[in-house]
Homo-oligomer: A and B are copies of this chain.
Amino acid sequence: MINVGLIGLGTVGQGVARLLTERREFLARRLGTDLVLKKVAEINPERRAQANLKPEQIASRDRDILDDPEIDIIVELIGGTDVARELVLEAIARGRHVVTANKALLAHHGNDILAAAARHEVDVAFEAAVCGGVPLILALRQGLAANHIQEIFGILNGTCNYILTQMSQQGMSYSQALAEAQQQGYAEADPTLDVEGIDTAHKLAILVSLAYCTPLNLEPIAVSGISKLDPLDLQFAGEFGYAVKLLAITRNDGSTIEARVHPTLIPRDHMLANVSGAFNAVYLTGDAVGPILLYGQGAGMMPTASAVVSDILDLGRNLTRGVKCRVPPLGCNAALESPRQIKPLDEVVTNYYIRFAAWDRPGVLSQISGILGKHQISIAAVIQKGREVKGAVPIVMITHEALEANMRQALLEIDQLPIVSPPTVFYRIEDPHLHAAQI
């Protein structure tokens, strides 16, 4: 018999409690032994009352779970980083295995937590922290473990993908789409963590560590979100054959690693371009396996609970066999001791979409392209439309590969031109076909 203690009866906690309670027999058949939800701690008395649990299962204090010597696995589902950190570290110190869905906790304090887990020889599992119910962590830690991961593109935040889908399919503005997402329960009242790309960056930090056997490191990940996106740019992107997605991108060029989160133009026939609504997907390339796509629900009560319970089962299998730390949490034994360099954004080379608002006078294009050329940026395609944006006309360009630092410098200079109405808008493109020819 394996005893589970659950801390936090929010949406995901309720889902986990339901799965463990309602399919106890089914899970016992999988595991070969009974899996018991022994105790649940929740400070909110309403949630405690609503949960379909026996009185002896309910505790009001986390301590009741930490202090129970019969509990084998502690599931942390309270969210946040401060209390959760204390809780998880104490659980580890007491020799309990831990399951968490908390990406913010891992992105900020993951190294401390995993180092503590190694010292105390306990497991910390976090399948639910990235892509909800999609078994992505399992794939990176085990299924694809024979590969050098070359790159990962991820749609890791359902809120952003829902908003972008509404903007591109319904022509909504960002604020309309956000309001719609809030109404549908896909966005929180304060959507900052989601729409500014922060949640996506938390998840990317975890993926970078798993893919490249390196400590968790949020700090060097360049992040921009979707709140400034103009439907006009979705429309122009479409005219060039691109969809716009908030992507988490990481790539290994052999020496350094790229890690960035930003709205990205991808070809409309790319599999990620067709991931719509609140779904998540990860498109990754391993040097042996080639491209792999994993797709599914990245959030929500039952999809996330599915991942949490799969972790509980996995730890349960260890407990019944008397083993622990069978697979290192980041897939590699020495991951915490071998930090890899993350390339600063300025050194990234990519293709760009640029939209200038320019006064429609002779020589505009030549002045702009002159400055771009001076900074080694060559143009792959241009659209100039009659439409006026605040009196100026939009000129939209797709560039060949250019260095981010050069692009930023060129745009600084271009935005000084009297014929241009700043600020110029630019987005990065990921399109393997563009890498080939130059105009």
Chain A residues within 8 Å of B, Cβ to Cβ: 15, 19, 23, 26-27, 29-30, 32, 127, 132-135, 138-139, 142-148, 213, 271, 274, 281, 286-297, 300, 302-303, 305-307, 309-310, 313-314, 317-318, 321-323, 326-328, 331-334
How far apart sit A146 and B31, CA to CA, in the bound complex (Å)?
10
- A146-B19, A306-B146, A332-B29 as given contacts; A293 in contact with B294, CB under 8 Å: yes
Indicate if the CB atoms of B303 and A290 lie closer than 8 Å.
Answer: yes
Indicate if the CB atoms of B297 and A289 lie closer than 8 Å.
Answer: yes
Q: State the copy count for this chain.
A: 2
How far apart sit A148 and B134, CA to CA, in the bound complex (Å)?
15
Option from B132, B296, B310, B331 in Cβ contact (under 8 Å) with A142: B310
How far apart sit A139 and B314, CA to CA, in the bound complex (Å)?
12
Cβ-closest chain B residue relative to A322: B323
How far apart sit A302 and B286, CA to CA, in the bound complex (Å)?
10
Cβ-closest chain B residue relative to A281: B293
Indicate if the CB atoms of B142 and A135 lie closer than 8 Å.
Answer: yes
Indicate if the CB atoms of A331 and B30 lie closer than 8 Å.
Answer: yes
Indicate if the CB atoms of A306 and B289 lie closer than 8 Å.
Answer: yes
How far apart sit A288 and B133, CA to CA, in the bound complex (Å)?
8
Chain B residues contacting A331 (CB-CB under 8 Å) are 30
How far does the Cβ of A117 sit from chain B's closest Cβ, in whole Å? Answer: 16
Option from B26, B143, B271 in Cβ contact (under 8 Å) with A127: B143
Chain B residues contacting A146 (CB-CB under 8 Å) are 19, 23, 27, 305-306, 309-310, 313
